[in-house]
């Protein structure tokens, strides 16, 4: 998925028009999948590892806000805008937030890499789509996927993980 977006950036960036490319961090809302397991078993499935390593995350609301603001601006050339939330978070942080808002102890349970594909398929993902998702997770876990910082604008969003997961739990 990340490689496809990079290729798209290269192609669109070669056009003779001003372009802005938003590079968003890991979506905090990815934890929406974990509400039921946190509530029922006190566990969230952790694909990011190690589970205590904080990575850049961002709320989708912040992505929308930045996209709307950017569309109202004028510029020339290409802009590369990297966006993350105000604080980096880990799966352990997410489990702690679930514990507070569910009033039940929750832990981040690491999922063995060899089980990812079958688990994703059980969740409804088409078998031919698991490889790109696994490649993306491998990229985050290895540190290969990270912000460039050089030649980019780096923006911090407003929403924190606690706010996003509190809203998710209340739904």
Domain of residue 30, residue span: 14-109+149-170
Residue 24 resides in a domain:
yes
Cα dihedral sign for 24, 45, 31, 118? Answer: positive
Residue 143, in any domain of the structure: no
Domains identified in the chain, total number: 1
In the structure, what pLDDT confidence band is assigned to residue 1 with cuts at 50, 70 and 90? low
Determine, yes or no, domain membership for 116: no
How high does pLDDT run on average in the chain? 94
What is the predicted pLDDT for the residue at 40? Answer: 96
Q: Would residue 5 count as lying in a domain? A: no
125 belongs to a structural domain: no
Task: Kindly report the pTM of this predicted structure.
Answer: 0.89
Percent residues over pLDDT 70 in the chain:
99
Task: Look up the CATH number of the domain holding residue 55.
Answer: 3.40.50.720
Which of residues 3 and 168 earns the better pLDDT score? Answer: 168
- Biggest CA-to-CA distance, the chain: 55
Task: Give a yes or no: residue 160 inside a domain.
Answer: yes
Average pLDDT over residues 141-154: 87
Instruction: Name the token pair of 88.
Output: 């980096």
Q: What's the mean pLDDT in 28-53?
A: 95
């Amino acid at each position: 998925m990340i490689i496809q977006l990079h290729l798209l950036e290269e192609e669109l960036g070669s056009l003779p028009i001003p372009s802005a490319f938003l590079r968003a961090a890991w979506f905090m809302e990815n934890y929406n999948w974990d509400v039921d397991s946190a509530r029922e078993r006190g566990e969230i499935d952790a694909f990011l590892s190690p589970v205590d390593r904080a990575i850049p995350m961002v709320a989708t609301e912040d992505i929308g806000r930045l996209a709307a603001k950017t569309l109202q601006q004028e510029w020339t050339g290409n802009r590369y805008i990297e966006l993350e939330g105000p604080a980096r978070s880990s799966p352990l942080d997410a489990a702690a937030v679930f514990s507070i808002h569910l009033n039940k102890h929750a832990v981040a349970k690491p999922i063995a890499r060899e089980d990812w594909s079958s688990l994703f398929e059980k969740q409804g993902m088409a078998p031919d789509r698991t490889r790109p998702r696994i490649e993306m997770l491998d990229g985050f876990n290895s540190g290969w996927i990270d912000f460039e910082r050089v030649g980019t604008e780096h923006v911090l969003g407003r929403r924190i993980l606690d706010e996003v997961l509190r809203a998710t739990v209340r739904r």
